């Protein structure tokens, strides 16, 4: 039965049902997928503009988001035992498409190192470049963060539910670097922001009580004492995603 014949029922169909129809030759199902998820595309577009990215046309950016959504519909793997819900998977592709579009636009522009940037209009691009840390310690931190992320991924797979993992990844920008509020995640799952908070708290408790969590909590406690003793600056300010997440867990 075609999607056009089920128009009144489309709102009650899940993304997964629509994607399955689309992947099995029902091209009209794609129109339903785009319509059903246009709010998510709009939300991600808003996040780029809230971050000060206003050098691109909004309509063009939204179009890139829809292309990312179509890519997700094409690539979604029903055979993957650990597959996320479609919308969580799609957010990664929507963000990636939008982000790559902005980067490509910026790359094509000839920007002077002395071009004013930032909200004050006084900070120059060269100031940012000179502030980049190319030291060995910075490389060492990157390796540590990558390892920590891998450990967290494994622990979440073993100790949390699929929905809990998806909530954490959306809230902390795991795959997109665009963190979503609990209310925004609630809109995706069609529950209240309070319910999302409860699930987030439950997942933290599970991770904290896991063998990995108990060992890591001790390591974090010892490291904090060491940094306080030697007055090492930037303990909190320089935390990347993995450390911010770990801070909340512990």
d(CA 120, CA 95): 27
d(CA 204, CA 192): 19
61 & 100 share domain: yes
Task: For residue 163, name the pLDDT band (cuts at 50, 70, 90).
Answer: confident
pLDDT at 55 exceeding the cut of 60: yes
Contact 42, 62 (CB under 8 A): yes
Contact 48, 27 (CB under 8 A): no
The pLDDT value recorded for residue 237 is 40
Answer whether residue 126 is part of any domain: no
The pLDDT value recorded for residue 118 is 46
Task: For residue 63, name the pLDDT band (cuts at 50, 70, 90).
Answer: very high
The pLDDT value recorded for residue 127 is 45
Task: For residue 146, name the pLDDT band (cuts at 50, 70, 90).
Answer: confident
CATH code where residue 50 lies: 1.10.1740.10
Contact 196, 186 (CB under 8 A): yes
Range(s) of the domain holding residue 22: 3-110
**Domain total of the chain:** 2
pLDDT at 24 exceeding the cut of 90: yes
Q: Which residue has the higher pLDDT, 33 or 230?
A: 33
pLDDT tens profile 79-121:
887 678 898 889 889 988 998 888 887 666 544 444 454 445 5
The pLDDT value recorded for residue 52 is 63
pLDDT at 208 exceeding the cut of 80: yes
In the chain, the DSSP E strands lie at: 116-117, 123-124
Task: For residue 138, name the pLDDT band (cuts at 50, 70, 90).
Answer: low
Answer whether residue 101 is part of any domain: yes
Arithmetic mean of pLDDT over the chain? 76
DSSP string, 98-152: HHHHHHHHHHHS---TT-EESTTS-EEHHHHHHT---SHHHHHHHHHHHHHHHHH
Give the mean pLDDT of 205-216.
Answer: 87
91 & 173 share domain: no
CATH code where residue 235 lies: 1.10.10.10
106 & 147 share domain: no
């Amino acid at each position: 039965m075609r999607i056009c014949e089920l128009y009144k029922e489309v709102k009650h169909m899940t993304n997964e049902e629509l994607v399955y129809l689309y992947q099995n030759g029902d091209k009209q199902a794609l129109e339903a997928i785009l319509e059903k998820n246009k709010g998510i595309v709009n939300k991600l577009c808003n996040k780029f503009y809230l971050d000060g990215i206003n050098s691109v046309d909004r309509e063009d950016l939204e179009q890139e988001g829809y292309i990312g959504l179509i890519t997700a519909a094409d690539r979604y793997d029903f055979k993957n035992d650990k597959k996320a819900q479609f919308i969580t998977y799609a957010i990664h592709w929507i963000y990636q498409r939008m982000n790559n579009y902005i980067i490509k636009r910026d790359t094509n522009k000839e920007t002077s190192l002395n071009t004013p940037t930032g909200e004050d209009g006084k900070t120059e691009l060269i100031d940012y470049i000179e502030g980049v840390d190319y030291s060995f310690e910075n490389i060492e931190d990157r390796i540590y963060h990558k390892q920590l992320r891998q450990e967290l991924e494994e622990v979440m797979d073993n100790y949390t539910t699929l929905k809990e993992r998806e909530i954490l990844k959306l809230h902390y920008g795991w795959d997109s670097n665009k963190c979503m509020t609990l209310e925004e995640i609630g809109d995706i799952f069609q529950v209240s922001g309070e319910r999302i908070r409860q699930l987030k708290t439950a997942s933290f408790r599970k991770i904290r009580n896991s063998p990995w969590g108990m060992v890591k909590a001790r390591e974090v406690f010892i490291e904090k004492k060491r940094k306080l003793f030697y007055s090492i600056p930037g303990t909190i300010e320089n935390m990347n995603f993995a450390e911010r997440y770990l801070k909340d867990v512990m």
